[in-house]
């Protein structure tokens, strides 16, 4: 009884109706506006639905239904249940809506942490793509003197060894290893964002962007060289550095595109723990036979919907995820494995 159950906003500046983070306590509301929206256009009237008997305030002042809100300034809604015992605080974030087109020739890259020390700087594909490099940076920061030196390379780099122009080079690294830090860290490039979760680093990767159309297939090019020694992590859940050598196993890459259903775009995502196993998954396009490949090989794989189907009335997110070790999400793989990917594209 202390939540905003629904919020809608009319106006030409609004691109998509707001997302409300579920639960009580400190939560968020994301208001999506069209690119180029000015501060003057952010004076908008929200229609807010709360539980019967609850009380809502805006910036600690009573909020009257139908009153315009200046979303160009800080806006914090608080809802108190009729009982007075439960309260939820919503901080509003205004975000330009990004119609991500789910394709990249990987020719454009940008420097992250450009003003920081040289060892903290790395390159990432521009325009909405992320990598596992931020995780490597944190290993260097906290364990650089004992596990993985600050002078060591990052997992994902730009390369001229490409199908055309430039490409992404992904390498599985030997990052030392202890209970919190994996011995094997795979190079990963994906569309999405990265936010460090110290307690479970696999949750740091937030895969995907809103998808409003039904995807048909996933295209691109790759080449791959496996590392010489494969390590299997014995207990990924509680000891990322515990491994055993498996001489009979050869590493292989992961090249996947995953469509999954969400209740809201801003606060739901798949991560490294559930990319291929979540019950939210609707369809997957996977390069299943990917392996050693000395020269670039093109792929074009269709999305497998199984018994599910695309429903235009529902909300979906779509992720492209490529990793240098197929079992990197289990902290397993062969250090030295190198995957190069180029010209990634979803066909709608």
Residue 46, pLDDT score: 97
311/223 Cα distance (integer angstroms)? 35
Please report which confidence band the pLDDT of residue 237 belongs to, taking 50, 70 and 90 as the band edges. confident
Give yes or no for a contact between 271 and 195, defined as CB atoms under 8 angstroms apart. no
β-pairing verdict for 87-96 and 25-33: parallel
Tokens of 334: 């062969």
Q: State what percent of residues in the chain have pLDDT above 70.
A: 100
Give yes or no for a contact between 303 and 283, defined as CB atoms under 8 angstroms apart. yes
Instruction: Report the 10 Å Cβ neighbour count for 151.
Output: 9
Residue 68, pLDDT score: 96
pLDDT digits (tens, 9 = 90+) for 272-281: 999 999 999 9
Please report which confidence band the pLDDT of residue 153 belongs to, taking 50, 70 and 90 as the band edges. very high
Residue 200, pLDDT score: 81
SS3 214: coil
Please report which confidence band the pLDDT of residue 192 belongs to, taking 50, 70 and 90 as the band edges. very high
144/142 Cα distance (integer angstroms)? 6
282/197 Cα distance (integer angstroms)? 26
pLDDT at 155 over 80: yes
35/33 Cα distance (integer angstroms)? 7
Residue 197, pLDDT score: 84
Residue 199, pLDDT score: 78
Which residue(s) pair with 211 in the sheet? 316
Total length of the chain: 348
pLDDT digits (tens, 9 = 90+) for 90-140: 999 999 998 999 999 999 999 999 999 999 999 999 999 999 999 999 999
181/76 Cα distance (integer angstroms)? 38
Q: What is the DSSP string of 6-61?
A: EEEE-STTEEEEEEE--SSEEEEEEEEE-TT--GGGGEE-EEEEE-TT-EEEETTE
Q: What are the distances in angstroms from CA 159 to CA 126, 162, 171, 188?
A: 14, 7, 12, 15
Averaged pLDDT for residues 214-227: 98
Average pLDDT, the chain: 96
Tokens of 102: 């789910």
Residue 198, pLDDT score: 76
Instruction: Judge residue 259's burial from the number of C-beta atoms within 10 Å of its C-beta, 0-12 exposed, 13-18 middle, 19 or more buried.
Output: buried
Q: What is the DSSP string of 291-345?
A: --EEEEEEEEEE-B-TT----TTSEEEEEEEEESSTTGGGT-B-TT-EEEEEEEE
Which residue(s) pair with 103 in the sheet? 345
Instruction: Judge residue 219's burial from the number of C-beta atoms within 10 Å of its C-beta, 0-12 exposed, 13-18 middle, 19 or more buried.
Output: middle
120/125 Cα distance (integer angstroms)? 17
| Residues whose CB is less than 8 angstroms from the CB of residue 311 and which lie 6 or more positions away in sequence, other chains included | none
Q: What are the distances in angstroms from CA 77 to CA 32, 120, 223?
A: 17, 38, 51
């Amino acid at each position: 009884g202390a939540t905003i159950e629904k919020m809608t906003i009319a106006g030409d500046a609004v691109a998509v109706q707001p997302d409300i983070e579920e639960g009580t306590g400190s939560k968020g509301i994301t208001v999506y506006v069209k690119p180029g929206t000015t501060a003057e256009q952010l004076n908008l009237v929200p229609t807010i639905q709360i539980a019967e008997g609850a009380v809502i305030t805006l910036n600690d002042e009573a909020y009257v239904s139908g009153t315009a809100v200046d979303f160009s300034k800080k806006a914090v809604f608080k809802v108190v249940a009729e009982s007075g015992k439960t309260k939820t605080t919503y901080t509003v974030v205004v975000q330009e809506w990004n119609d991500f087109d789910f394709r990249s020739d990987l020719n454009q890259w940008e420097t992250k942490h450009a003003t920081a020390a040289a060892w903290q700087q790395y390159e990432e594909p521009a325009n909405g793509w992320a990598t596992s490099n931020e995780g490597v940076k944190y290993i260097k920061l906290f364990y650089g003197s004992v596990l993985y030196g600050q002078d060591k390379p990052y997992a994902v780099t730009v390369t001229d060894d490409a199908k055309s122009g430039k490409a992404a080079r992904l390498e599985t690294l030997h990052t030392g290893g202890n209970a919190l830090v994996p011995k094997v860290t795979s190079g990963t490039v994906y569309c999405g964002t990265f936010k460090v979760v110290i307690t479970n680093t696999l949750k740091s990767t937030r895969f995907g962007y809103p998808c409003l159309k039904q995807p048909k297939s996933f295209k691109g090019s790759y080449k791959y060289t496996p590392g010489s020694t494969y390590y299997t992590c014995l207990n990924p859940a509680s000891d990322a550095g515990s491994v055993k050598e498996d001489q009979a196993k050869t590493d292989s890459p992961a090249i996947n595109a995953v469509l999954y259903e969400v209740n809201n775009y801003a606060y739901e995502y798949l991560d490294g723990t559930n990319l291929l196993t979540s019950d939210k998954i609707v369809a997957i396009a996977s390069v299943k036979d990917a392996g050693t490949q000395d020269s670039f090989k093109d792929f074009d794989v269709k999305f497998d919907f199984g018994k599910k189907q695309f429903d235009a009335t529902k909300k979906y997110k779509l992720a492209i995820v490529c990793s240098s070790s197929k079992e990197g999400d289990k902290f397993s793989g062969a250090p030295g494995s190198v995957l190069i990917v180029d010209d990634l594209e979803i066909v709608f």
